[in-house]
Structure 1
């Protein structure tokens, strides 16, 4: 019985670009999240305002952050797959 990797490990030529993309997306999310924190610290009454379907800004913004993180994950995966396919061709 062989115990060897199914996939041959090679150098990922797209790794530097994927890392740069990840850092850029991290900073985008951090800025959006910082907006949430700043509103909560400087004017918490605004977080109580009803903005959508009788839900307050804190709930809408919080769920928006969750959805944004998921969407950004899908975008990151899509773009990284394209980079890998393009740059790792033999």
Structure 2
């Protein structure tokens, strides 16, 4: 059974990740970042997520990557985000 401290820490990590994702989505949507800069920002967010939740690459790719792909495609046209594990279709 998880301890209260472990549950609180996980909750903090979830809130941190949610904040980072929302800030990144906002930066991409509302600033003049170029496509390459936006893709680097997505990669940095993914790195942050994996530091907070080691071994959860697939979870990030299934939950957050589609949101970033949709926004990048809306702003810049089709993007590849190549090398990441989730199929782009």
Gaps of 5+ in 2: 55-89
TM-score by length of 2: 0.51
Whether 2:21 is the aligned partner of 1:33: answer yes
TM-score by length of 1: 0.51
- RCO comparison, higher one (Cα < 8 Å, 6+): 1
Q: Who wins on radius of gyration, i.e. which is larger?
A: 1
Gaps of 5+ in 1: 1-11, 50-55, 75-90
1:11-63 deviation per Cα after TM superposition (whole angstroms, max 9, x unaligned): x3x521111001101111111111111112222x32x06xxxxxx21111111
What's the counterpart of residue 77 of structure 1?
Answer: none
Could you list the structure 1 runs, at least 4 aligned residues long, displaced by more than 4 angstroms after superposition.
none
Whether 2:58 is the aligned partner of 1:70: answer no
What's the counterpart of residue 16 of structure 1?
Answer: 4
Q: CA-atom RMSD, angstroms?
A: 1.8
